[in-house]
Amino acid sequence: MDLLSIQNFIKRAGLTGMAGPVLIVMILAMMVLPLPPLLLDILFTFNIAISIMVLLVSMNTNKALDFAIFPTVLLITTLLRLSLNVASTRIVLLEGHTGPDAAGKVIESFGHFLVGGNYAVGLVVFAILVIINFVVITKGAGRIAEVGARFTLDAMPGKQMAIDADLNAGLIGEDVARKRRAEIAQEADFYGAMDGASKFVRGDAVAGIIILFINIIGGLIVGVLQHDLTLAMAAKNYTLLTIGDGLVAQIPALVISTAAGLVVSRVASDQNIGQQLVTQLFKQPQVIVLTAAIIGAMGLIPGMPHFAFLLLAGAMGWLAYSLVKKNERAVAQEESAAATVTPVIMESAEASWDDVAQVDVLGLEVGYRLISLVDKAQDGDLLRRIKGIRKKFTQDIGFLPPPVHIRDNLDLRPNGYRITLKGVDIGSGEAYPNLFLAINPGSVTGELTGTQTRDPAFGLPAVWIEPVLRDQAQVMGYTVVDPGTVVATHLSHLISTRASELLGRQEVQQLLDHLGKIAPKLVEDLVPKALPLGTIQKVLQNLLDEGMHIRDMRTIVETLAENATRTQDAYQLTSLVRVALGPAIVQQFYPSAQELQVIGMDKELEYVLMQAMQSSQNGIGIEPGLADTVLRGTRTAVEMQEQMGLPAVMLVPAQLRDLLARFLRRAVPGIRVISHDEVPDFKTIRVTAMVGGKA
């Protein structure tokens, strides 16, 4: 049977999950069962090998969760060392009188080769190793794990807000959001487990000291009283064996503790520790030049070792020179990429209709430093994010928006971008590819060093920060996003607020064609027999202007077909469609509430407005003084709703809804006006704020 067949058999039999329990049982058995010296040599060698493996794995991970099993590994290796200490102590006390190889060759080698057979030197070396492990590495790693656990818990709300923002912007799906939330919880669990596991390592160091003295004292007693050795011979044999035993256990413990310190002290990035050391420590040639000058000056002092100092100074000077040349080449390449290409003079051809260029409905123009965000060859993921935005917009709003045409624009600032709608600039901003934007949601606990700015999508205070400050910003309560997310969120916000302008006749026809596959007779009876395509487009645009989605096209088309014989006015038809969509409208503002807490209007003010409508020639005019009264009262009511954490929804009679909705849409951003006819019968209403009176 080959190795692959054995592996498949183990997997099918479910024996993989038994590895952990079997290992723990074997480790505990070593404390009870006597082990021969040869087996002890193998187990001590395995202990050293596993500690080196753990150290190398911890250095090659990019983030702490890549080695999430580390707290458990820390506990198992500590238990393994203690079991080996117990097993070796048994052999040392039973067979130590026979000579220095009584407990195996590994202990003998550590007792003779590493400390030269001098047990006084061995005691000093062992004490130093224990102090380094216990006082420096283990204590520091435990403190870092404790602080990391607390900071991770403090940063969880900010990280959750960032995930929700990406999900709402369509940058990620529900599965990715669920995975990222799980990673945040795992990170908190990891640091908490590391805080507890570090206590085992500290206890292991204390146990090593106690076992050392027990072995020495016990060995002297056994050697002198039971085996009639002289005190000097007993001291030499048992002390050297004990020192070898202690060193062979403490060196792997020191390696494991170092690995623990590396894991909890590193900052998560896309580079491992070795790559971070090279890219960050040797990043600034000025620092290396200054260091080389200081070392060289020290080497010229009389009495100093000139060769060592001057050799190192020369090597560091050469390294600084190489870094300067490398940076100059990088700058030259960037400037050449940004240089304007000299146009080629060609013979002009006759103008034709092919020269007429259509304006892109949606466009994104970027400066040359942002090309990396939209270039797949440079790992730019903005194109993927834009696809996600369009997909989420389609699912939320109900129609497919036009594609976003992306191009570079050398007239823009290097880090600038511009979003256009039908060739008109509707939004612009700046993004920095190598930085992160820390957005202040209003509840941060400190200030960050960086370039102060504002979030281009929602205008919140923000600051561009270095990547090393990302975790600190999240702990302070900032929402931290990368530059691609900044641009994508801005684009998502703009197309959501201007959805009605994106709905052209082509999109309306595609909607009807899509519905016609499901209900062909319904569409056939409406267009063009009952209503022209332009009227249907205007009705849908009216719904979008007021923040409604048009996903329920069946209900919309059925309502239009039913009322098309009575009126052809787009605004009247919109009101009738809104009544049919009433439950969906209410659910959009009150997802799961049975009671609707709304802004009401005083009866006298309603009567005055109706009189004003009847006296107006076109039915939509409001006298300036009356308009000011309505405006001030609405703003006050909206502020009250926001303070109570309630949606800014005003409930008015059906006759006034269209008038007030158009009047307040731009004057009071965020207000939504619904009519009594749109509220389902099974919902209850409670007026929490009043325009023109008191609730």
Q: Which CATH superfamily is domain 503-580 in?
A: FHIPEP family, domain 3 (1.10.8.540)
Scanning 415-563, the segments in alpha helix (DSSP H) are 470-475, 483-497, 499-502, 505-516, 520-526, 533-545, 553-563
**Side by side, which strands form the sheet with 416-421?**
404-408, 362-366, 416-421, 424-430
Taking the C-alpha atoms of residue 31 and residue 389, their distance in angstroms, rounded to an integer, is 61
- pLDDT score for 427: 93
10-residue mean pLDDT profile of the chain (695 residues): values are 53 57 76 78 84 83 76 82 80 70 70 64 75 73 71 72 71 77 78 73 74 78 76 74 76 79 67 66 77 83 79 84 79 62 52 75 90 76 87 91 89 92 92 92 87 91 92 89 91 91 91 89 85 92 91 92 90 92 90 88 89 67 82 91 89 90 85 91 90 66
State residue 339's pLDDT score: 54
Structure tokens at 489: 């969120």
pLDDT of residue 332: 73
Structure tokens at 572: 């009247």
C-beta separation of 479 from 165 below 8 A:
yes
> Residue 475's pLDDT is what?
87
pLDDT given for residue 374 in this prediction: 84
Q: Contact 128/170 with Cβ under 8 angstroms?
A: no
Q: Which helix (H) or strand (E) holds 687?
A: strand 684-691
Given the candidates 3.40.30.10, 3.20.20.70, 3.40.50.1220, 3.40.50.12790, the CATH classification of the domain at 591-695 is 3.40.50.12790
Domain ranges for the chain: 3-26+43-271, 285-333, 358-500, 503-580, 591-695
> How far apart are alpha carbons 593 and 692 in whole angstroms?
26
Sign of CA dihedral 517, 566, 680, 400: positive
Q: How much is the pLDDT for 695?
A: 43
pLDDT of the residue at 341: 45
Which two structure tokens, joined as six digits, stand for 593? 């509430």
Cα–Cα distance measured from residue 31 to residue 599, given in angstroms and rounded to the nearest whole number: 75
Nearest one of 448, 459, 479 to 157, comparing CA atoms: 479
Question: Closest Cα partner for 104 from 186, 198, 38, 151?
Answer: 38
Q: Spell out the alpha helix ranges (H) of 283-345.
A: 285-299, 306-338
Task: State how far the alpha carbon of 17 is from the alpha carbons of 5, 28, 46, 74, in Å.
Answer: 18, 19, 22, 19
At residue 379, the pLDDT reads 61
| Integer Cα distance of 17 and 10 in angstroms | 10
End-to-end Cα, the chain, rounded Å: 84
Residue 379 buriedness (CB in 10 A; 0-12 / 13-18 / 19+): exposed
Contact predicate 672/680, CB 8 Å: no
Q: Give 301's Cβ-side CA count (13 Å radius).
A: 9
Q: Is the dihedral of CA 34, 36, 41, 46 positive or negative?
A: negative
- For the 358-500 domain, the top CATH level (class) is alpha beta
What phi and psi values does residue 512 have, to the nearest 5 degrees? Answer: -65, -40
Cβ(299)–Cβ(95) under 8 Å? no
